[in-house]
Structure 1
Amino acid sequence: MTDSKAPRTGSKDSNPVAPAPAEARTAADVVTPALVTGLAKGVVGSGRTSSRSPLTGQVLAELPESTPEDVATAFEKARAAQRAWAATPVRQRAAVLLRFHDLVLSRQSEVLDLIQLETGKARLHAHEEVQAVAVAARHYGRRAAAYLRPKRHTGAIPVLTKVTELRHPRGVIGQIAPWNYPFELSVGDALPAFVAGNAVVMKPDTQTALTALWARRLLVEAGLPADVWQVVLGEGPVIGPEVADRGDYISFTGSTRTGREVAQRAAARLVGSSLELGGKNAMLVLEDADLDKAAAGAVRGAFSSAGQLCISIERLYVHESVADAFLERFVARTRAMRLGASLAYGADMGSLVSERQLETVEQHVKDAVAKGATVLTGGRARPDIGPLFYEPTVLEGVEPAMTVCGEETFGPVVSVYRFSDVDEAVDLANTTAYGLNSSVWSGNGRRARQLAARLHTGTVNVNEGYASAYGSAQAPMGGMGDSGLGRRHGSEGILKYTEPQTVAHQRVLPMAPSLGMSDEAYAAFMSRSLKALKVLRFR
């Protein structure tokens, strides 16, 4: 067991440091003045702001900062460009996504460097974003035409009423993207909006703006008209409301608290919104699970991107009959994780993104230990590696009075709980206002899937932490309860960016008395017709 009061430096009990390759690149090698100047052209703004790399704490880039007036200008430009873009045939719009797919994969090293420098995450975790964006681009590039094509429906009077459902773009989408997945949650969310014929005004987090701007430049290179994607930068409380108050639809990913404010602003204008918010996600390890695989899966689920993703695992429920054996494996794997700050593969976990995230993690662990929880491994910062590194941490003995029990940590901290039967595990997993993601591990797939259906979360992964559900782009992904509204991916991920229109063409006879019928005769005729339609099994 690691002493939670140990010095905040490396020791023989600390997680090892991944060695950096001799030819490792630095921030200066990647973020050149020419790169910053080129990307900054994509921002509508006249002020100045800066971002810092969590890996070193040093200034990474100076970028334009937008004012409320700049946001208004961005929407004007987007609206002017959207009309021509919407008139472009959907297959031509989809072809842009397919070209973008190829560009992303061929030039991925560029964006991997930027993601690491801006978020501090390990390179393998940065590659998860590349995978997700490529999958979304391929999926909507191939399926958009089918999702958006006119659909025939049975009319009020079969044969006589011809009904067609059309899908129109909403116009200009206001998108507010977070810092934790700056590639996937910026362009990945915007792709279905673009292919549906919309323009987008996006406010990425300034901390990770270079990644979003790189994505914009690449998508323009793939054929997207430049004015169709406008980017504004600035403080969330200043610029965020301006974006939310102007979009014809609002896409937001972030905290539940801010999400409520965004939803209220959208509702006040009677426009739609989709919100992916927080999570306190649970993983259930049943007594028949493969413990080696479950332990490896728990490491991935809890510590990918240093736990800074909404769908990461923060609560581990393990059947009491296998808890000791599971923890032996899980703690050993966690303690062996290599921490690193280089722009190369090899590290198992990177850095937290900000002082605020580090403070939250430290406060949650400190509060838990003070109230009786045990640190099985981790529990300390690692300034010997970088200013915002914190060891992957496993807690046991967590009680409801502890902050970490119910509040989202959004860091590399997971709490372990023991249960005696499956019904108890389901109740424990569902004891939260959140409902984003969950995970079930069992040697019996049918049993695990039946259990998954009882969990109150938008996605459930069987024998995986989060990646299987998220990576399945044809299926909807999103949260229940305080975890949000709406879904990304699949048909819902693109149709939310459209307005449905029903066109009903009545032929031969009107929907009213005709051919000399009295009102009474018409009512009787329609009643007989409705009964006949039921017998004939019309829908």
Structure 2
Amino acid sequence: MTQTARRDVDPSTGEAAPPAFESLDPRTGEVVGRHPIHDEADVAAVVREARQAQTAWAELGFAARKQHLDAWRRMLARRLDEIAGLVCAETGKPLDDAKLELVLVIDHLHWAAANAEKVLKRRKVPAGFLMANQAATVEYLPLGVVGVIGPWNYPVFTPMGSLAYALAAGNAVVFKPSELTPGVGAWLARSFAEAVPDHPVLHVVTGYGETGAALCTSGVDKVAFTGSTATGKRVMASCAQSLTPVLVECGGKDALIVDVDADLPAAAEAAVWGAMSNAGQTCIGVERVYVVDAVADRFLELVTERARKLRPGGEPNAHLGPITMASQVDVIRGHIDDALRGGGRAVVGGEHSVRPPFVEPVVLTDVAADSEAITEETFGPTIVVQRVRDADEGVAQANSSRYGLGGTVFSRSRGLELARRLRSGMVSVNSVISFAAVPALPFGGVGDSGFGRIHGADGLREFTRSQAVTRTRFAMPLNPMSFGRSKGTVRRLVRLVRLMRGR
């Protein structure tokens, strides 16, 4: 639904109030809430406030921060139904899907708080024989203030991969949620403030793209962005002006490979869930399937059988919700039309399946390799099933995309082998999207899917700066790092290195 900015009059002063915009239920167009449009000055002020609070938060140490984050986690668990209802209202997704998102969020928040000290604390490292007189350590210190720009499709789970890990590492966070789901972002900030009232280190700014752009130039110490590749490039360009580091998680065109020995019912179930859940609005969703020709007919029958049972609707228990971002409907329609014009076949649905704001399931096959349905991210409840000679050809086809976010392999005998050959940041073998639910695993992609990692130990370190320290324990008989060294010092070192490292 299209949102419009409004400027009301403050009844107490008679003056114009700051501009605001409405978040709408994409199923009905009803207003869910009204939120301020924060401009450049507003964002800068919020960042300053976050920076003032960050020092005390960092000085708490890991154990005390864990206690506060655990309190927030317990609050989220108690009020899961409340925030799930808001997610459902602003995205239109089925209520159970919203609750599933919250279950994953709570588990990730627990992992980040519980493991931050183990991953980031100071540790000893070997100094090597040349520096045997040095005690060497490395630790990971917080950056300061992290700016997070989140998406609308998973408005809690996706940004929490940055929020929880950045907070656990000792940073303050300024979060800019999507303009389609601002209420979810505001709710998260309020709940944190209730659970952790003495440390205002999670702030939210709301608005459109200009607000996100202001966050990029506000002086934050890092920006974590999730969204389209095109917008990610603009974020990078803006941050480059101040050498602000970025973490960029963009779109995907994830592939599922079905080998000749795959469990076909399980593979079909995974393909349909991976492609159709959340109405296909999943960056790690399955958009392409490459199935070995020997089992392709049966696999396609199973996929068709399952996809035909799914129905979109506005009720909380529908299989699929609406297309949350109205402009995406035209993209989905265009990809279906392009596939069919190029000789592809629709075995489920077709052009008639696009009925804004809903799109019924569409299963395409025999699609031309250069079709947009193969090359571009569709982000809707569609799936393309292509026949390949063998699983090796499937890997080659999967890797032909400029994206490289996630992937899936169904094979009894070659699962891990095929997974290692996929050019992607994450792979599930004999399941789908499982990697996203494992808090200890890093999440992120390559190519046009972005770079950097959230989740796991890599995700904690992503929001820190490493600091290496050496401390002299005793004087070395040979000290080459001095103008007072003897003439034979370097000669002796060369002889020593040849003896110790030259063989």
Query: TM (normalized to structure 2)?
Result: 0.91
1:49 lines up with 2:49 in the alignment: no
Amino acid at match of 1:411: G
1:249-398 equivalence runs, <5 A: 249-343=222-316, 346-379=317-350, 380-381=352-353, 387-398=356-367
**CA RMSD after TM alignment:** 2.2
Say which of 348, 361, 371 aligns to 1:402: 371
Contact 2:312/2:359, CA 8 A, preserved across alignment: no
Partner residue of 1:27?
Answer: none
1:224 Cα deviation from its structure 2 partner? 6.0
1:467-506 equivalence runs, <5 A: 468-506=434-472
Of 264-273 and 81-90, the range deviating more from structure 2: 264-273
Of 266-275 and 243-252, the range deviating more from structure 2: 266-275
1:138-287 equivalence runs, <5 A: 138-155=110-127, 157-223=130-196, 225=198, 227-236=200-209, 238-245=210-217, 246-287=219-260
Contact 1:49/1:63, CA 8 A, preserved across alignment: yes
Partner residue of 1:453?
Answer: 420
How far apart, CA to CA, are the structure 2 residues paired with 1:393 and 1:514? 69
Say which of 47, 55, 74 aligns to 1:102: 74
1:369 Cα deviation from its structure 2 partner? 2.0
Question: Which consecutive residues of structure 2, in runs of 5 or more, have no partner in the other structure?
Answer: 1-16
Q: Deviation per CA, 1:297-326: give whole Å up to 9, x if none.
A: 111110111111110000011111111111
How far apart, CA to CA, are the structure 2 residues paired with 1:138 and 1:317? 37
Relative contact order (C-alpha < 8 Å, sep 6+): which is higher?
A: 1
How far apart, CA to CA, are the structure 1 residues paired with 2:480 and 2:388? 68
Query: TM (normalized to structure 1)?
Result: 0.85
Contact 1:97/1:140, CA 8 A, preserved across alignment: no
How far apart, CA to CA, are the structure 1 residues paired with 2:294 and 2:103? 37
How far apart, CA to CA, are the structure 2 residues paired with 1:224 and 1:479? 36
Q: Deviation per CA, 1:267-319: give whole Å up to 9, x if none.
A: 33223211111111100111111111111111111011111111000001111
How far apart, CA to CA, are the structure 1 residues paired with 2:184 and 2:211? 19
How far apart, CA to CA, are the structure 2 residues paired with 1:184 and 1:198? 19
How far apart, CA to CA, are the structure 2 residues paired with 1:375 and 1:302? 15
How far apart, CA to CA, are the structure 1 residues paired with 2:60 and 2:450? 33
1:518 Cα deviation from its structure 2 partner? 5.0
Aligned-pair identity in percent equals: 36
1:381 Cα deviation from its structure 2 partner? 4.2
How far apart, CA to CA, are the structure 2 residues paired with 1:451 and 1:224? 49
Contact 1:187/1:215, CA 8 A, preserved across alignment: no
Name the SS for the 2:269 alignment partner. Answer: helix
Amino acid at match of 2:458: E
How far apart, CA to CA, are the structure 1 residues paired with 2:268 and 2:480? 71
1:401 Cα deviation from its structure 2 partner? 3.9
Contact 1:187/1:216, CA 8 A, preserved across alignment: no
1:436 lines up with 2:405 in the alignment: yes
1:528 Cα deviation from its structure 2 partner? 4.4
Q: How many residues align?
A: 483
How far apart, CA to CA, are the structure 1 residues paired with 2:354 and 2:467? 57
1:89-128 equivalence runs, <5 A: 89-128=61-100
How far apart, CA to CA, are the structure 1 residues paired with 2:353 and 2:483? 87
Residue 265 to residue 360, structure 1, CA distance change in 2 (3 Å): same
Residue 225 to residue 282, structure 1, CA distance change in 2 (3 Å): farther
1:233 Cα deviation from its structure 2 partner? 1.2
Contact 1:90/1:144, CA 8 A, preserved across alignment: yes
Residue 531 to residue 223, structure 1, CA distance change in 2 (3 Å): farther
Contact 1:122/1:347, CA 8 A, preserved across alignment: yes
How far apart, CA to CA, are the structure 1 residues paired with 2:425 and 2:189? 29
How far apart, CA to CA, are the structure 2 residues paired with 1:179 and 1:514? 56
Of 223-232 and 185-194, the range deviating more from structure 2: 223-232
Say which of 23, 37, 55 aligns to 1:83: 55
Contact 1:361/1:409, CA 8 A, preserved across alignment: yes
1:327 Cα deviation from its structure 2 partner? 0.9
Partner residue of 1:68?
Answer: 40
Contact 1:96/1:219, CA 8 A, preserved across alignment: no
Name the SS for the 1:259 alignment partner. Answer: helix
Contact 2:176/2:185, CA 8 A, preserved across alignment: no
1:68 Cα deviation from its structure 2 partner? 1.0
How far apart, CA to CA, are the structure 2 residues paired with 1:199 and 1:88? 13
Q: Deviation per CA, 1:483-504: give whole Å up to 9, x if none.
A: 1011111111011111111121
How far apart, CA to CA, are the structure 2 residues paired with 1:495 and 1:449? 27
Q: Deviation per CA, 1:358-383: give whole Å up to 9, x if none.
A: 12111211222233221111233475
